[in-house]
Amino acid sequence: MSRVVALSVLEQECSVCRLPPDSAVPTPTHGFWSVTKTAAELSIVCPAGSEPTGSEVVGPWRVMSVDGPLDFALVGILESLLAPLAAAELSVFTVSTFDTDHLLVRAEDLERAITCLRSAGHTVG
């Protein structure tokens, strides 16, 4: 079952960064941050201009956040968002938090992504 959701677009641009797994985890400052550590890497999403020194950086990205909080029992939220974006051949990087899901699209693709999601019935504000 496909779900219709509301999303909010954050104003700031972000970068997706990669560091070796034994790197120090930076202390987040302002804006949207996500830090994920695995045995293979340390991945950081941070505001553009706040990238850790020496990191591999891809960006800029724009963040669209699903209005939450979302109940953990809900299914199909990401699928309902990712399927139309994939059909439009738009690259997406996702981050999930305890409360909600966040979609990052390349900054130059933001307007196309918004149009695509609205065409699929979602609300983007």
**Which residues are within 8 A (CB) of 56 and not within 5 positions of it... i.e. 6 or more apart?**
17, 18, 19
pLDDT at 100 over 50: yes
For residue 1, is pLDDT > 70?
no
Q: Are 41 and 65 in contact (CB under 8 A)?
A: no
Give yes or no for residue 83 having a pLDDT over 70: yes
- Out of 68-72, 79-83, 99-103, least confident range: 68-72
All domains of the chain in start order, with CATH: 6-124 (3.30.2130.10)
- State pLDDT tens for residues 19-40: 999 999 998 888 999 999 999 9
105 with 9: CB under 8 angstroms? no
Q: What is the pLDDT of residue 29?
A: 85
Q: Please determine, for residue 60, whether its predicted confidence score (pLDDT) is greater than 90.
A: yes
Contact 112, 90 (CB under 8 A): yes
Q: Is residue 55 over pLDDT 60?
A: yes
The whole-model pTM stands at: 0.92
pLDDT at res. 71: 80
What average pLDDT does range 71-99 have in this prediction? 93
What pLDDT does residue 105 have? 98
pLDDT of residue 54: 95
- Residue 4 CA, distance from chain mean position: 18
